[in-house]
Each structure stands twice: as C-alpha cells, then as structure tokens.
Amino acid sequence: MDTTGLTPGAVLTADLKITSASGRTPVLTVPVKLVVPRYQVALDAGSTGASTDALGDGWSPDRKYTTGSYGYQGNASSQSTSRTIAGTDDQKLFRNAREGMYEYRFDNVPNGTYTVELGFAELSSIKPNKRVFDVLAEGTQVLPSLDIALEAGSYTALTRTYTVTVTDGILNVRFVTHTGFGKPLLNSLRVTDRPDKT
C-alpha cells in the first residue's frame, strides 16, 4: 500500500473479501487497517550507513543526539561483527551495536501513543551474567535485568516491542547499567506513532 498523500495520523480501515468455491465459506472477510504515523524513526544502532530490512523498511545510521533532533546520549562506542546472527533475516541490523549509551532521546514528537521496537544481539562470545541492564521507556521500566547472553546466547537476535505514551513532546528510551556488570548494548531501535492505539 502507498501512503503518499494521506494525512499523517490517519487510520484507514477496510474489509478484504476473498471469494472461493468453498461450500462452507464461499466468502472470507479479512479486516485491514492502514496506519499513517505522524512520526517514525528507525535507527540501526552502531551503524554508519543507511539500510533496508527484509520487509523493505528503511533504517537510518546511528547518530549522537543534538538538541531538537534525536540520537544517543552518553560516552558510547560501536561494535560490529561479520559473523552470522541467528534468529533474524536482517543480518545488517544485528551485526552492528551501540554500547555504553545511557539514553536515546527523540525531541519534537507529537504527543500520543508509540510503539518502541528494540533489537539486541551479543556480538562476542560473552557468557551469561556478564552484561545485565534495565531498559526504561518514558520513565517506565519495560525490560528489567536484561541479560542478552542468558536469554538468547551470543550471535543471536532478541527483539522486544513496547507501547508507551508521550505527553511532553520528548520520547526517552533509557538504559541503566547494573553495578559490576557490562555496559548496555543495543542493535536497533524504531519508534512509531500509533494513532490507532489511543
């Protein structure tokens, strides 16, 4: 579907009717919803170039935060690997990572409901209980004590999606290191306005 020319924030619905020669169900109705977000940013954390995922969606290179825009904050570094990442068709998204940031901040976002999609993968043979951190979205702890190596192992994709409400025009995704453990790590981050979830 092409959303060109549609009003940002629009939610369009329709029924797709499939007709068959089936005696039992000659017409099957499938509800379809098209959401035109007012705001969406997809970041390939740790990457220096844009990419396209297996579904054809575009991802921007990672960037440091600047006032009025978006990006990571904190003294962070990037990691990468050429090894195959299990559990995903999007190798490029999971072969780069940002490590050590304390937050990704998005300024000037319309107030409303958002989905926050997070992608993680350990890019070294780290053992469980070495890197443990919390993730907070809009001040709410959404992912406590994440241990990527324990949940997925090394070189394996792990994804999580959360729904948050923005009321101050700023969307914050914060990463909190547990004392004595390795720094937080993130491979991909996408925030999308969801006017259909208000």
- The confidence score (pLDDT) of residue 38 equals 93
CATH code of the domain containing 57:
2.60.120.430
Q: Which two tokens stand for residue 48?
A: 């220096």
How many Å apart are CA 187 and CA 44, to the nearest integer?
6
Res. 152: pLDDT tops 90: yes
**Is 150 strand, coil or helix?**
helix
Same domain, 52 and 100: yes
173 alpha carbon, distance to own chain's centre: 11
Number of domains in the chain: 2
Average pLDDT over the chain, rounded to an integer? 94
Mean pLDDT of 45-66: 95
Of 99, 97, 107, 101, residue with least CA distance to 41: 107
Residue with tokens 């001040």: 139
- The confidence score (pLDDT) of residue 88 equals 97
Mean pLDDT of 62-84: 97
- Domain of 113, in residue numbers: 39-197
Same domain, 136 and 78: yes
State the pLDDT confidence band at 197, using cuts at 50, 70 and 90. confident
Same domain, 101 and 60: yes
Mean pLDDT of 30-36: 88
Same domain, 32 and 43: no
Res. 79: pLDDT tops 80: yes
Same domain, 21 and 95: no
Residue 93 φ/ψ region, left for φ over 0, alpha for ψ in the -120 to 50 degree band, beta for the rest: alpha
- The confidence score (pLDDT) of residue 137 equals 97
Q: What tens digit of pLDDT does each residue of 88-140 get?
A: 999 999 999 999 999 999 999 999 999 999 999 999 999 999 999 999 999 99
Mean pLDDT of 78-84: 97
Res. 78: pLDDT tops 90: yes
Same domain, 8 and 50: no
Same domain, 17 and 93: no
pTM of the predicted model as reported, rounded to 2 decimal places: 0.89
Mean pLDDT of 45-73: 96
State the pLDDT confidence band at 25, using cuts at 50, 70 and 90. confident
- The confidence score (pLDDT) of residue 74 equals 96
- The confidence score (pLDDT) of residue 24 equals 79
Same domain, 21 and 69: no
Same domain, 130 and 190: yes
